[in-house]
Structures are given as C-alpha cells and as structure tokens.
A and B are shown apart, each in its own frame.
Chain A
Amino acid sequence: MADIKQLAGPQSRRKFLAVGGGSTALAAFLAACGSDSDSSSTGTTAMSSGGGKSETAEFGKGDVGILNYALTLEYLETAFYADVVKSGLFKGADLETIRKFGQEEAEHVQALTQAVKSLGGKPAPEPKAEFPLKDAKSVLELAGTVENLGAAAYLGQAANIESPEVLASALAIHSVEGRHAAALNTLLGETITPDGAFAKPADVKTVLESVEPFIVG
C-alpha cells in the first residue's frame, strides 16, 4: 500500500486510487458527482475559488462539496445498517439500537440532500456498497470503526464550512455520530473516548481510503 503521506491532494489521490485496482469504482464515483461546469473535476488540480485547495473539491465547490462528501458517507452508513438489520445477526435491544441508528443515518441523507439542493448544487449519487457481514462481533467492530470515523470526518470539515446555517446543520449531525460511536464503543467493551477528552479530526484522504473497500460501483 502506498505511503499515505506521499499523497499530495485530490489529483494524486485519484491516481493512487486508479492504480489500486479494485478501487476504480470509487474514482468513477467521484468523477460522477458534484462536477460544476466551470470546475475541472476530472483530474486536474481542484482549486476552490476562495483560494487554497479544497479537500472536498471533487464532491463540489465550497459548502456543496463538503455536504456531498458528508452525504456520501451517510449513504454508506445507511446502506451498512440496512444490510446489518437484514442479516439477522442481531436480536432484541442490539437490533433496536442498530435499526434506530440506521434510521437516523437515513434522516441525515435526507437533510444533506436537501441542503445541497437549497445551495443550488447537485446531490452526490448513492454509491453501490457491499459490507462483510460474517458474525455479530465483526459487524459491531465495523460499525464502531465507521461511526468513529464518520464523527472524525465531520469534525475535520467543520472549520471549512462557509455558511453558518450549513455549519449549524453539520454540527447537529456531527454530535449524533459521536453518540453512535460511543454507544458502539460501549457495546464492544471499549472506551467511549478513544481520542481522550478532545476528539480528533480525520482528513478526507484518510476517510475515503477507509471506506473505499466497501464501494463497488
């Protein structure tokens, strides 16, 4: 696997993903969403008009890009929970928790889609995803990983958001992902605060590389 630190930006990441074989699905997916008529989202440098490179430029410009990035993650979480519910691996209270979390992720999908539209943007398409569902323990671990990563993803973008309204919406979702993460950590017998008293952000590169294995088309 290539050294993550060598990846310099969206263009490099795309090249990396193209070389990574089965990850062309993600590259194609990124190319399909959030492309504005005047932004070159097909591989050349994606500089946002505000100056400085935007991590989420492939998903769209400015706040639309950030929202579409979040929307993509929420689609994946929703699909994951739906699959887990269908798998029959869980019963009783655990099943109810998983069902509820999936419902909430679906509400996030709706809210983010609306937010993108209200900004005049094109909502990111729903990715096709597949998740390993071997047994309850490994599924819970995956859920915990995804939720902790999702919370970190939101935290990583908060300071990039331009509109106060979009920021307020993102924060209202971010803290719920934190709740999900802590609940799953508890179910797994792990600490509710893996980063300690101050949660750490994750950058787009890290997040996309983590979810890339689950996107199939």
Chain B
Amino acid sequence: MSDRVTTNEQFANPELGAVQIEEDSGDLSRSDVLLKGALAAGAVYGTLAVGPFVRKALAMTGSSDVDILNFALTLEYLESKFYEEAKSRAKASGELKSLVNLLASDEKQHVEALTATIKQLGGKPVPEPKFDFPYSGTGGFLKLAQTFEDTGVSAYNGAAPMIKSKEVLAAAGGIVQVEARHAAAIRLQNKEEPAPAAFDTPLDEKQVLKAVEPFLA
C-alpha cells in the first residue's frame, strides 16, 4: 500500500513511506488520524492528486514535533525582533513602554526555550529569518503588534493538536496562554476588545505564513 504514495515524492517525514493504513487500528496517534485521511484520499484519487494534498497535510499533520516547534520558533523570532526594534521605533512611553519591555522579554524567552527544546529532541533549530516591519510611530506599532499576537495564538492553537509528545504539548500550552495575554494587553492599548470572540479559532500553517509573509525580508 505504501508504494502508492511513495513514488518519487520527497517527504519531509521519511517515515511516511512506511505508514500502513490499517482500517481497524485502534491506537492511532493524533497526527496519524489526520494523515490517514490524506493517504486514504490519495488511494481513491490516484498518486498525483495526493502530492499537494499530502504536502499540505505534512506541513502540519505529518510533521514531527521538531517541525512544529520550528514553525513556532519562526513566529517567536518574528515577535522577538519586532519588540526589540519597538523599544526605539514605537515611541512608547509610560504604560505602553513597560508593556513593550515585557513583551520583548517574554518573546526572547520563548525563542530560547523553543531553541533548547528542539535541540533536546535532537533537531536543528531554524536560523533566525530576516524581517522587515514597515510601520511608523506608536499607532503603527500597536496595529502590527495586535496582528502578530492574534496570529500567534491561532497558530499555536492550530498546531498544538498535532504535537505527539505530551511534554511538548504542555510547553506549547504554557506559551500560547502567554501570547493570548499579550494579545489582550495590546488590544486594550488599541482600545479594542481584549477578547473579541469566545473562541480563538485555529489557523493552519498556510494561513499563518500568509499573514507573516509580508514581513519576511
């Protein structure tokens, strides 16, 4: 069955070729359940159709915990750089200035923790990307900050169910709650609702990358 999908595809996860679709398997991990759907669809529609669909699924579902953490690390690098720059560029004073310092410190700690965890898992942390944040002044800063924090929350919420390790999941949970706290604080500075909806809907990797792509230099 596995040769239906392995053809000449390069898989991010080399274990994919060995995945067996067992209809009766009662102990699939979370990501297996989702990936099983993708592979089953390929079995019906043919190998070529599986390619892009599986690639999209692999971006999140077939991804190892290291891949997911590197995805998170990319976002944390973005936020960390953004707030470091904001210390001078946002022209913040008083309460907002304290908030910027807090956010910068938190995101830096997230970068450090994710980097350490990835290494602990035997993975290679992504190098820090180059960013370009076009904004001027406090208003511009606050607008971007809100986008980044809200997106960060949804990105973590989208990725977390795919995490295999309970320890990594717990760590991700501890980070996303802080991002949500950040989001609420920034929104209050913007005189916006801190919690605009009852549920923070998850975003998938494609949607998240679309949101942050404009800021990748």
Chain A residues close to B by CB (< 8 Å):
97, 100-101, 103-104, 107-108, 111, 151, 155, 158-159, 164-165, 167-169, 171-176, 178-183, 185-186, 191-193, 195-201
Task: For the complex formed, measure the closest distance between the CB of B132 and the CB atoms of chain A, giving whole angstroms.
Answer: 26
Residues of B within 8 A of A182 (CB): 180-182, 184-185, 194
Residues of A within 8 A of B171 (CB): 198
Q: Is B92 an interface residue (CB 8 A)?
A: no
Are A198 and B178 CB-contacts (below 8 A) given A100-B193, A171-B157, A183-B195? yes
Task: Identify which of B106, B170, B182, B200 contacts A172 (C-beta below 8 A).
Answer: B200
Task: For the complex formed, measure the closest distance between the CB of B73 and the CB atoms of chain A, giving whole angstroms.
Answer: 14
B193 touches A201 (CB 8 A): no
B157 touches A168 (CB 8 A): yes
Could you list 13 examples of A-B contacts with CB < 8 Å? A103-B198, A159-B166, A164-B33, A167-B160, A172-B157, A175-B157, A178-B177, A178-B180, A182-B182, A183-B195, A186-B184, A195-B178, A198-B113
Those of B74-89 within 8 Å (CB) of chain A: none
Q: Is B42 an interface residue (CB 8 A)?
A: no
Q: Is B188 an interface residue (CB 8 A)?
A: yes
Q: Is B93 an interface residue (CB 8 A)?
A: no
B188 touches A193 (CB 8 A): no
A200 to B32 Cα, complex, angstroms: 29
Task: For the complex formed, measure the closest distance between the CB of B92 and the CB atoms of chain A, giving whole angstroms.
Answer: 15
A100 to B162 Cα, complex, angstroms: 31
A192 touches B182 (CB 8 A): yes
Residues of A within 8 A of B188 (CB): 183, 186
A104 touches B195 (CB 8 A): yes
B197 touches A168 (CB 8 A): no
Q: Is B39 an interface residue (CB 8 A)?
A: no
Task: For the complex formed, measure the closest distance between the CB of A25 and the CB atoms of chain B, giving whole angstroms.
Answer: 28
Residues of A within 8 A of B156 (CB): 171, 175
Residues of A within 8 A of B110 (CB): 197
A101 touches B195 (CB 8 A): yes
